[in-house]
Amino acid sequence: MDACPVRSSHTAFIHGNTLYAWGGYQVVAGQDVVLPSNEIWLCDLDSGMWERKEMTGDIPPHSPGFCGSNINSTLYVFGGCDPGGYSNQMFSVDMSKPCCSWRKVLNSTGKTPSPRNKHSCWVHKDRLIYFGGYGCKTMSEVQNAFPSSFIVEEMSWTTIGDTLFQCLGWNSEVNVFDTRTSTWSMPETRGSAPSPRGCHASALLGNKGFITGGVETAELDIFCLDLETWTWTQFDFQLSCAPLGRSMHTMTSMSDHTIFVYGGLGTDGNTLSDAWLFNAKRREWTKVTHQHKDKPRVCHTACLGSDGNVVVFGGTSKLCIRVDSLAVLRTPSEHHCSDVLFFQMQPYSLCRLSEDFIGRNSELFSQKLSWLPSKLYNKIKKRVTFFSITKPDLTA
């Protein structure tokens, strides 16, 4: 089996007990290199073994900053910024089929969102609900947008001749794509909406979509959108107990009312390795003690796995930001990662504990493993492989 290449700004999801990772970039000879779009990597989380799978069809262009999301076994990617500029194209691929063939989503109805990257997505009732991002709009779109939903970045205007044509900026729009009818819509929201932003994190609790960060605030702000009534709510909490403000972090839903936040680029300029739980009922943050404090991450992914684990993959362990007279630039980093981190967020079942004990101490049971039923035997074999090739710390 091959090892998955190091990567950042990719997308990942877990289906069954397999971690799927697609896209992103790495650094070669000091330059950012976008990873191939015609392959996806699968990690069996029981064994820790990676497998590369080729993809065909309408291969998506190289578009860093895209947003990836999955419904059951189908992966959707939307937006990004390719060499030709910002994109609002969508592609999908059904990973349950033997041949993984990309399909460009065409002939959708409704108004497609303007081109963008650094946005996020909630998956709710077979709908992809996108929030925010950075991208371009025409002058007509800017004039027709709600005044507080788009912030124009200074010095980003593009002209054709003497005519002002388009500009770049951050938005706080909510755009909905119904995968059953292939229809775009933009619901009218109410309440205390977040400011325009990108590089934030999002998670879903029930019928409410949560976002945090992505803006230069001292503490990590948090908002939720009711996806039935389209009403925004900003959460107030004790600032003394709140995490540092950040971007390029992850949020993972843990239960009906709890969200796990990990890593990101802090407003202090450091790549972070802290973890937090936010209780939406009590509106309070709790810092999580864990044993991955030496593994800071930005531009990583985090998925909820079996047994309540949060599975973190890839990212960058040290992000370098350079400021010149005109812009803030990300410097290519040699610190991309390919390791998988497990955060145990609840006690394991007796069955899981037994599997891990045998996996760690297989030599004690070598003559008796063949007595097990075939399904359990195969599972134990994978755990033996896992502990033979990795030295994970599976405690929170």
Give the pLDDT band (50/70/90) at residue 321: low
Q: How many Cα atoms occupy the beta-carbon half-sphere of 323 within 13 Å?
A: 1
Whether 326 has a pLDDT exceeding 50, the answer reads no
High-pLDDT (> 90) share of the chain, %: 71
**Choice between 369 and 10, residue whose per-residue pLDDT is larger:** 10
Residues 6 or more apart from 141 whose CB is under 8 A from it? 114
Q: How many Cα atoms occupy the beta-carbon half-sphere of 28 within 13 Å?
A: 6
Once rounded to an integer, what is the mean pLDDT over residues 20-42? Answer: 90
Query: Taking the domains of the chain in order of start, what are their residue ranges?
Result: 11-346, 358-396
Q: What average pLDDT does the structure give for the chain?
A: 90
Question: Which of 178, 190, 95, 164 minimizes the C-alpha distance to 130?
Answer: 178
CA–CA distance, 304 with 310 (Å, rounded to integer): 5
Q: What is the pLDDT of residue 146?
A: 73
Q: What is the pLDDT of residue 325?
A: 47
Q: What is the pLDDT of residue 391?
A: 57
Q: What is the pLDDT of residue 159?
A: 59
CA–CA distance, 319 with 314 (Å, rounded to integer): 13
β-bridge mates for residue 117, sequence order: 134
Q: What is the pLDDT of residue 80?
A: 95
Whether 233 has a pLDDT exceeding 60, the answer reads yes
- Give start and end residues of each alpha helix (H) in the chain: 139-144, 350-360, 374-389
CA–CA distance, 305 with 333 (Å, rounded to integer): 29
Once rounded to an integer, what is the mean pLDDT over residues 195-219? Answer: 96
Q: Which of 305-309, 351-355, 380-384 has the lowest mean pLDDT?
A: 305-309
Q: Which of 81-90, 106-115, 144-153 has the lowest mean pLDDT?
A: 144-153
- pLDDT tens digits, 115-142: 999 999 999 999 999 999 999 998 888 8
Once rounded to an integer, what is the mean pLDDT over residues 180-186? Answer: 97
CA–CA distance, 129 with 175 (Å, rounded to integer): 6
Once rounded to an integer, what is the mean pLDDT over residues 64-75? Answer: 94
Q: Which of 49-58, 93-102, 161-170 has the lowest mean pLDDT?
A: 161-170
Q: What does the buried/exposed string (b/e) look like for 348-371 if buried means 16 or more CB atoms within 10 Å of the residue's CB?
A: beeebeebbebbeebeebeeeeee
Whether 208 has a pLDDT exceeding 80, the answer reads yes
β-bridge mates for residue 163, sequence order: 160
Q: Phi and psi of 358, rounded to 5°?
A: -65, -40
Q: What is the pLDDT of residue 1?
A: 52
Whether 245 has a pLDDT exceeding 90, the answer reads yes
Whether 73 has a pLDDT exceeding 50, the answer reads yes
- pLDDT tens digits, 134-171: 999 988 888 777 778 998 886 566 655 555 567 899 99
Give the pLDDT band (50/70/90) at residue 394: very low
Q: What is the pLDDT of residue 63?
A: 86
Q: What is the pLDDT of residue 395?
A: 36
Q: What is the pLDDT of residue 187?
A: 96
Whether 43 has a pLDDT exceeding 50, the answer reads yes
CATH number of 11-346: 2.120.10.80
